Structure 1
Amino acid sequence: MKKVNRRWKRIKSRLVYQNPWIKLWEDKVIRPDGKEGIYGYLEKPTGVFVIAYSEKNKSIFLLRQSRYPIQKTVFELPAGVTGSGEILSEAKRELKEETGLEAKKWVNLGSFFVAPGHETTKAEVFLASQLYKNKVLVENQEGDEAIQKIIEVKVKDLHKIIQQGKIKCGITLASLILFLTKPKSTQDSKIR
């Protein structure tokens, strides 16, 4: 079979819109079929997503959070975007801010692009374990966050709630796949 080199070529970029969180670009391009066209996409910083795992309870923590763009409440992992700081430090900060929890052990489970057809966002997924703090609080959230509740979910129940469609956030679902399929060397052998 002949290998076909079908790639996009950028001719010119134009910044259409910008705020502190996103940039919207429109590029003049040569499409893979050789024709000129335009391509619009979002540029966003890397996001950190934290799976806070309790060895004692064999459970993880999810946030029930109201999301403005879809006008719905969804279950998500503790998360945030990176600033200029180091990715692990940002993950630690987000876990503490959103749940009141901290962790002694951190493992990077991997990364993925969130929606590479229309945005640049990369997700870095961390497993936080050996958790400490007696009380999980929603009062720690920033003013633009709408965390309504922090729930603890047994790992053995994750497959069931995913199959029932209770988790609608794609990034959370992809992160949970990394968690549920990771090598045993990065986890307590009794997680599954």
Structure 2
Amino acid sequence: MSTEKSIRTLESREVYRNHWMRLREDRIERSNGVEGIYSVVDKDDCAVIIPIDGDDVYLIEQFRYTIQERCMEFPQGGWETPDVDAEELARGELREETGLVAETMIRLGMIWIAYGFTKQRQFVYLATGLRFEQTDPDPEEHDLELKKVKIADLEQMLLDGTIEDCSTMAAWGLYRLWKERQA
């Protein structure tokens, strides 16, 4: 894959910031000489965790304000802290959202979330050897519901559109590829 940059940043300015994100507007020049504007949402790293217990997997159901719907997805999130250790983040998010503690965490990979407009990495972890402790949700996570489903049911939900979260879909794809190569 080429590392050649076909867009050059001429100027950058921050137009908005809050605890979770920063929005910047960059004046750019494309390799064909045409100038333009590119808006970028900068967010700190996050993690998505696949908690598997035998033939079951744990999902979170929560209200997602941006689309005004309750959604099913793997536990995921970030700490709004730069340069956090990815496994520590994954373990923390798992416990925070589900109350689960994993004996084993296996890093399956890393994905960029919607890199057409946002700069945010998401680390994908498989969590096994699970035991329950106490949850510790953020105020924004007041409505989380933990769901334990059969793996076959998870895959049906991915196929029939019950689960539409791209991070959950991508994480499950990485897991299936990883598992296939373990045999």
TM over 0.5: yes
Stretches of structure 2 that go unaligned for 5 or more consecutive residues are none
Q: Distance in 2 between matches of 1:64 and 1:160?
A: 16
Residue 79 (str. 1) matches residue 55 (str. 2): no
Change in Cα spacing, 1:78 to 1:6, as seen in structure 2 (3 Å) is closer
User: Counterpart amino acid of 2:97?
Assistant: E
Mapping 1:11-30, distance limit 5 Å = 11-30=10-29
Q: Which has the higher strand share?
A: 2
Equivalent in the alignment of 1:164: 160
Q: Distance in 2 between matches of 1:98 and 1:118?
A: 27
Residue 143 (structure 1) aligned with residue 139 (structure 2) = yes
Sequence identity (%): 30
Partner of 1:67: 64
**After superposition, where does 1:23-172 map in structure 2 within 5 Å?**
23-55=22-54, 58-82=55-79, 83-84=81-82, 85-133=84-132, 140-172=136-168
* 1:141/1:147 contact within 8 Å kept: no
* Structure 2 letter corresponding to 1:169: D
Structure 1 window deviating more from structure 2 (79-88 vs 98-107): it is 79-88
Q: Distance in 2 between matches of 1:123 and 1:81?
A: 9
Instruction: Tell me whether 113-122 or 139-148 shows the greater mean CA deviation.
Output: 139-148
CA distance in 1, matches of 2:101, 2:181: 22
The structure in which a higher percent of residues are helix is 2
Superposed CA RMSD: 2.0
Which of 1 and 2 has greater Rg? 1
Instruction: For 2:61, give the aligned amino acid.
Output: R
Number of aligned residue pairs: give it.
179
Secondary structure, in 3 states, of the residue corresponding to 2:67? coil
Contact 1:91 1:126 in 2 (8 A): yes
- Quick check: 1:76–1:167 contact (8 Å CA) kept in 2? yes
Structure 2 SS opposite 1:69: helix
